[in-house]
């Protein structure tokens, strides 16, 4: 059994090879928080967070310091530790930076247990590692013209990916369609094209644009409206033929 000794968090900012333009904001770099969970037994569990904003890292680090204070000397039993921390933070709420800090600690706990066993976490949990089909999401932002987006989509396939994701949310539906058609025309039929609105639309706008995209060779429509408007997401999904994808902002079991 492992015992919590210390929690260390190091903020870093990684420049994006292709600055990403979304309907929410331009993302020129990735603010990350690297977390090490040190144990009395010498095993280190690791995790990292994408903090979205540079200003979020100090707050999350401060919460990790509080988590260290509360758990130092405790046995690493992830579910038990999560429940204890959730109870301790009831008044402030298990959300925002509190939830992100708890998640980083929880992931590091599981990583430490797997490292101590010398096996992948999937194996520790009773599963088995297996290949997962991945797509390239490092580009194709809103700043592109249709032709430049098509050029970049081809570049994103050079490392062997079989899918790419395109950001949408231009002022008009016609602009969205022009970019989608240019990219889809340039990609091989076997390559999946996903699109992401980054929660920019209203429900009614999402239905209009989603229906316009039906039949355009789009594999899924991601984040059309606010991620926490579950009823609205269901209404959009029921009104369009292209599958609607949400969940990137989910972090607790009840949200799944």
How far is C-alpha 161 from the chain's CA centre? 19
Q: What angle do CA 81, 83, 88 make, to 5 degrees?
A: 95
Q: Which of 167, 175, 182 is nearest to 216 (CA)?
A: 182
Torsion sign across C-alpha atoms 51, 11, 58, 121: positive
Instruction: Decide if 19 contacts 138 (C-beta within 8 A).
Output: no
Q: Which is more confident, 20 or 112? A: 112
* CA 2/CA 116 separation, integer angstroms: 8
Query: Which residues are 11's β-sheet partners?
Result: 33
Query: Residue 177 in 3-state DSSP?
Result: helix
Instruction: Decide if 72 contacts 3 (C-beta within 8 A).
Output: no
Out of 66-75, 129-138, 219-228, 243-252, pick the least confident: 243-252
* CA 250/CA 256 separation, integer angstroms: 7
Per-residue pLDDT averaged across 73-97, rounded?
Answer: 97
Per-residue pLDDT averaged across 107-127, rounded?
Answer: 97
Q: Which of 144, 245, 231, 229 is nearest to 195 (CA)?
A: 245
- Tell me the pLDDT tens digit for each residue of 21-63: 887 778 889 999 999 999 999 999 999 999 989 999 999 999 9
Q: 91 CB contacts (<8 Å, ≥6 apart)?
A: none
* pLDDT of res. 52: 87
**Residue ranges of domains in the chain, CATH in brackets:** 4-124 (3.30.390.10), 146-255 (3.20.20.120)
* pLDDT of res. 251: 77
- Tell me the pLDDT tens digit for each residue of 165-208: 999 999 999 999 999 999 999 999 999 999 999 999 999 999 99
Q: Which of 241, 255, 252, 165 is nearest to 209 (CA)?
A: 241
* pLDDT of res. 48: 98
pTM: 0.90
Q: Report whether pLDDT(150) > 80.
A: yes
Per-residue pLDDT averaged across 92-96, rounded?
Answer: 93
Query: For the chain, what's the residue count?
Result: 256
* 255: confidence class by pLDDT, cuts 50, 70, 90: confident
Q: Report whether pLDDT(144) > 90.
A: no
* CA 80/CA 113 separation, integer angstroms: 14
State the residue for tokens 């990609």.
187
* pLDDT of res. 116: 98
* 254: confidence class by pLDDT, cuts 50, 70, 90: confident
* Cβ-based burial of 134 (10 A; exposed 0-12, middle 13-18, buried ≥19): exposed
* 87: confidence class by pLDDT, cuts 50, 70, 90: very high
């Amino acid at each position: 059994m492992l015992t919590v000794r210390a929690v260390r968090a190091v903020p870093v900012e990684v420049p994006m090879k292709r600055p990403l333009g979304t309907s929410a904001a331009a993302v020129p770099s990735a603010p990350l928080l690297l977390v090490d969970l040190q144990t009395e037994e010498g095993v280190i569990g690791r995790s990292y967070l994408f903090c979205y904003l540079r200003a979020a890292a100090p707050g999350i680090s401060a919460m990790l310091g509080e988590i260290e204070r509360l758990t130092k000397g405790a046995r690493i039993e992830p579910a038990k530790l999560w429940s204890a921390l959730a109870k301790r933070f009831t008044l402030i709420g298990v959300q925002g930076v509190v939830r992100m800090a708890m998640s980083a600690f929880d992931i590091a706990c599981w990583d430490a247990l797997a490292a101590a066993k010398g096996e992948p976490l999937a194996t520790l949990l009773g599963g088995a590692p297996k290949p997962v089909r991945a797509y390239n999401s490092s580009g194709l932002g809103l700043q592109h013209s249709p032709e430049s987006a098509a050029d970049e989509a081809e570049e994103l396939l050079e490392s062997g990916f079989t899918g790419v994701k395109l950001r949408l949310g231009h002022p008009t539906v016609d602009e969205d369609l022009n970019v989608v058609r240019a990219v889809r025309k340039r990609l091989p039929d076997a390559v999946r094209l996903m699109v992401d609105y980054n929660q920019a639309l209203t429900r009614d706008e999402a239905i209009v644009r989603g229906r316009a995209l039906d039949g355009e060779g789009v594999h899924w429509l991601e984040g059309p409206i606010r991620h926490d408007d579950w009823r609205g997401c269901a209404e959009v999904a029921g009104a369009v033929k292209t599958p609607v994808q949400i969940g990137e902002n989910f972090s607790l079991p009840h949200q799944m």
